Every structure is written in structure tokens, then in C-alpha cells.
Amino acid sequence: MCPLCKNPTKYLAKDLRPVFPEEKLLLELLLEKSPHDFTERSIWCENSRYFIDGKAKPISSKTFETADCEKLKNQIEEHNSKISYEIFNQFVQKFCEANKNRLKELISEAYEFIKETSEDYPEENIILSFSGGKDSSVVADIVTKALSNSSLVHIYGNTTLEFPQSLEYAARFRRNNPYAIFQIAKNEDQDFMKVAEDIGPPARMMRWCCHMFKTGPISRVLNGLYKNQQVLTFYGIRSAESVSRSKYNRVENSKESVKILRQTVASPILHWKDIDVWLYLLSENVDFNDAYRLGYDRVGCWCCPNNNQRAQFLSRIYMNEESKKWREFLINFAKKIGKPDPEVYVDSGAWKARQGGNGLKSSEDIKIRFTNCTSEENAKNYLLVREFDDELVGLFTPFGKVSKELGNKLLKEVLVLDVKTSVPLISLQPFSVDGFEHSVKIKTMNVKNHEDLQRKIAYQIRKFNACRKCLKCESVCKVGAITISKEGYFINPDKCVRCKMCVNQAVLENGCLMGKYLRTKDTKNI
């Protein structure tokens, strides 16, 4: 029963989002209606199914695929100035009034969760993960109010692939919240397109971009602010967003679940639906990203492989030049890996489902090539893609104390010693193998399980050979001992606590993310 008109309600969909006047105009043009024909209509949407005054109007994928986006763009520019929010705001007011009791329940429960979860943390160690999306906007607002603290730390992950509206919103948020500590996390060392050229574009199951351009930079900010301290981070994660997120716990702190190990992750709106998020934003008059007004239902990276066809359609209108360049890149990539019909491969979205490094030269770097030493027990000869150097030696810091002094200087041997007993555990020695320019002989000693140690050693060899500076290793280090830059991969022996998380299969599969992203059928793993 509707609390306003007292008439029976009817079921429309399991979730809904409002359609703003800007998207209404696009919908009118797409359906070949007169501009502003829907101004006085109440329109909501679930995926690509619109509800116009309660009547369903699905938009087929073919409609998005075949639409003349250039024409639509020009028409929008022509009629955009006449867009009015007057009637839309009336609909919003009714929506908020009709659902005010639900909103009270949502807020009350979220406040209780936030306060309870925060009890064991000083407020300076409480972080708000700010993505520029609607969910993180709600969390930023509701946590600030629940804790009555307007000076909490906000970390904005600028992936370098942000919507223009996201950057505008982030800047606006900073102006509107002058007391908030606002940190920007951005990877200044990498160029997305150059990395994609090397290891291929990200795919649904291979989103290397998340670590390289989001999680890694955020981890760097945390390392700079908190050193060895544990922090509590509130995220705008919701179970309704995806199957994987439906399995999340409301509070996560296990090494298998948390991407940045120094943080405990809390999700106050985990069980909220889309319509709940919009109820909060519109009722509480919270500013939000203008990309939603255009019809986007998610505002992460504009070229994300998880974007649906409708999002791609919108980007062809509102990010026309970028979309053209991205499509051209994908077609060239498809040709490089030998796809017989590159245009179909790209336009059908098949590139989003790719797995591994098939057809890529870079896939050779992750293959662990070794031979068992015939003259020494528990020794293997590993092939390297470049010269044995201090960077390789430094990668053995997690195993113990690295000593160049105690090794055989004539053989350029380096020993790795047990930190407590100074007993040698590992011997590294540059080695010559016929047909290969660079290699290293690695011998394990004074350990119970030689194979287990050699497996972890192989992970470090893979890192040395295949590292693309994805920054994942920085994220798994709780103490900030790992630094990855243009100069290379460095482990600070004074900070390293030898927890071996960076060589833990449960935390970092195959020791290096490239092992997953560049894997092929003939890849050998230890």
C-alpha cells in the first residue's frame, strides 16, 4: 500500500534507479520521440529496461549497437539547454516522502554498524575509500555523520581512466568538504596504454589495471600516512553489484580477502540496493557524480571490461574520441594475437573474456625455465631474461639476511642466512648455461623441505623476469618494506619482517600477478 495515495502498489523489478532529465532526453531521441516528450513522465530503470509511468519499455542490445551516436550527440547538444528539473524534483520529493521510514531504518542500522566497527580504532586511523561513485559518496556522508567527524581521511583513487565527470566531482567534493583530509592516489610511473600494449588489455578475469592503477597507489598512500599501523577502511561495496561481491563479509580482514593487508575493510551499505542508495542521496541532498545524470549506472574506469553494452553506447556519445581510439587499439591487439576477424572479436565483446597471454611475446617472461644441477644436490639452474644483479639478490630478503661477504667471491656467490641463527639457507651464484645468456644457480641447504623453498624461490625468479610494476607486492606488505618504481623492485631489509606474504600462494598466486595474466597452455609452474 502506497503511504501517500493509499492505493495498492505493484511489483516492477527487484531493483531500480532514477532516470534523470539528461537521460530522459537521450531516451526520447533513441526512441524517436519528440525532445522533452517525457518531461512529465516518471521514469525508472533496471539495467536496460525502462519503466515509463510504471509501464515497461525494454531497449534491445541491437538498438544500442546500431544507434547513430554521432547524430545523437548533435541532437543532445541542440536540445540540452531546454532540460528542466522542476517536474523531476516533484517526483523525487514524492519518492523520498513515500520511503522515509525505510530510510530511517537504513540509516539507523548503518550508524550502529559504523560505531561498533570503529570502536577499536583511533579516528585518525579510519579511512574512507572515495571512488567518485554513488556508493562511496553515501559511505563518505554516512560515516562522517555517524562518527560526527568531518575531518576523516578520504583517499581518492585516480586510475587515470576516470570519467571527466568523476574528476569534476572529486574536485567539487574537496571544495564542499574543506575539513576532510583528502588524499589522491595515482600511479605516476605507468601509462595504461603502454602497459596494455605489452601485456594486453584488461579482461573480466584479468583486471591487472585494478592493482596497477588503484589498489597499488592507495597502498602507497597508506604506507606514507600510517607506516606499520593497521587501519580501518570503509568501502562502498554492495553485494547486489556482482556475484563475487555477494560473497563478501561485512567486515573483512583475512589475508585471502583483503587486497591491502594493512587494512581491515568494512562495508556499511553491503546489503543496500541501488534504490536504497538513491533514496539516501536524494533524501539527504548529497552531491553526486554527474555521470549518473547521463545514464551511467557505474562510474569506474570508462573503458572497464565489466562495462555493459549500454555503458559502451553512452561512452560513444559522451566520450566519442576516446572510444574511437580504444576500439582501434583493441582491433590492433586482436590482429597481433592472430584473431581471424578482429572487428567481430572487438565489437562482440569477446576481448573481455580473454584469458592469459596467448599470442603475446611478454608471455615468455613468466615461464620458469630451469634444470636440476647434476653436480650439487638441492640446486637448480634458473634462466633469467636479464643479467644477474642486485635487484635479483634483493628479492631474497624475505627468506633471511642477504650476505655478499660470506659467499665465494671468486664465484660471485651470495648467501642468504637464517636471521636468528645465521645458518646459510640459500646460495645464489651467476651461472653459465649453453645457449642462454643469463642464468643463476640456486642451492637450498639446512632446511627440512627443499622443494617448498625452491617453489617460493621460483616465485622470486618469476618476479625478476616478468615484473611489470603492477604494485601488487607493495599492497601485500603490511610493513611497507617493498618499493616498486622505475628504478626497480626493492625490499628494505631493515623493514622486512620475513613474514613471506609476498611469496605466499594464498596471497599472491604464483608469486607474481603476471603469472596469471600472461599464462599460456605451455607455461610451467613450480
> Which CATH number goes with the domain that contains 147?
3.40.50.620
3-state secondary structure of 163: coil
Using the 3D structure, point to which of 79, 97, 115 is the last residue of a domain: 97
Considering the domain boundaries, does residue 523 fall inside one? no
Say if 9 falls within a structural domain: no
Which among 29, 32, 57 has a CA at the least distance from the CA of 43?
Answer: 57
User: Which class for 106: exposed (0-12), middle (13-18), buried (19 or more C-beta within 10 A)?
Assistant: buried
| Local confidence band at 256 (pLDDT 50, 70, 90 cut-offs) | low
CA distance 192 to 126: 30
pTM of the predicted protein model: 0.91
**Grid cell at residue 344:** 567481430
Domain contains 242: yes
Predicted pLDDT at 437: 81
Q: What mean pLDDT comes out for the span 96-110?
A: 97
Taking the CA of residue 405 as centre, how many other CA atoms within 13 Å lie in the half-sphere pointing to its CB? Answer: 2
The pairing of beta strand 126-130 with beta strand 231-234: parallel
Same domain, 373 and 255: no
The mean per-residue pLDDT over the stretch 233-241 comes to: 90
- The pLDDT of residue 211 is above 60: yes
What are 461-507's pLDDT values in tens digits? 999 999 999 999 999 998 999 999 888 999 999 999 999 999 988 88
User: Do 109 and 142 share a structural domain?
Assistant: yes
Of 275, 290, 305, the domain-final residue: 290
Measured CA to CA, the distance from residue 127 to residue 152 in angstroms comes to 7
Residue percentage of the chain with pLDDT more than 70: 97
Last residue of a domain, one of 228, 255, 290: 290
- Nine-digit cell at 1? 500500500
Spell out the residues 6+ positions from residue 24 whose beta carbon is closer than 8 angstroms to its own. 38, 39, 41, 43, 88
The whole-number pLDDT of residue 489 equals: 95
Q: According to DSSP H, which parts of 284-403 are helical? A: 291-294, 309-318, 320-336, 342-347, 390-394
Indicate if 168 and 193 belong to the same structural domain. Answer: yes
CB contact set of 335 (below 8 Å; sequence gap of 6+): 342
pLDDT digits (tens, 9 = 90+) for 21-38: 999 999 999 999 999 999
Do 452 and 433 share a domain, yes or no?
A: yes
Residues 89 and 129 in one domain: no
Q: Looking at the domain assignment, is residue 320 inside a domain?
A: no
Tell me: do 220 and 285 sit in the same domain: yes
Could you tell me if 382 and 373 are in contact, meaning their C-beta atoms sit under 8 angstroms apart? no
Q: Are 182 and 224 within one domain? A: yes
Q: Is residue 525 pLDDT above 80, yes or no?
A: no
Are 93 and 107 in the same domain?
A: no
Q: Are strands 263-266 and 231-234 parallel, antiparallel or unpaired?
A: parallel
Confirm whether 524 is domain-assigned. no
Together in a domain, 420 and 451: yes
Q: For residues 369 and 523, what is the distance between their CA atoms, to the nearest angstrom?
A: 10
Whether 88 is covered by a domain: the verdict is: yes
pLDDT at 303: 94
Give the domain extent around 44. 17-97
Q: How far is it, in rounded angstroms, from Cα 433 to Cα 500?
A: 30
Whether 418 and 502 map to the same domain: the answer is yes
Answer whether residue 468 is part of any domain: yes
Q: 106 and 83, same structural domain?
A: no
Number of separate domains in the chain: 3
Let me know whether 74 and 210 are in one domain.
Answer: no
Residue 435 lies in a domain: yes
Average pLDDT on 231-255 reads 82
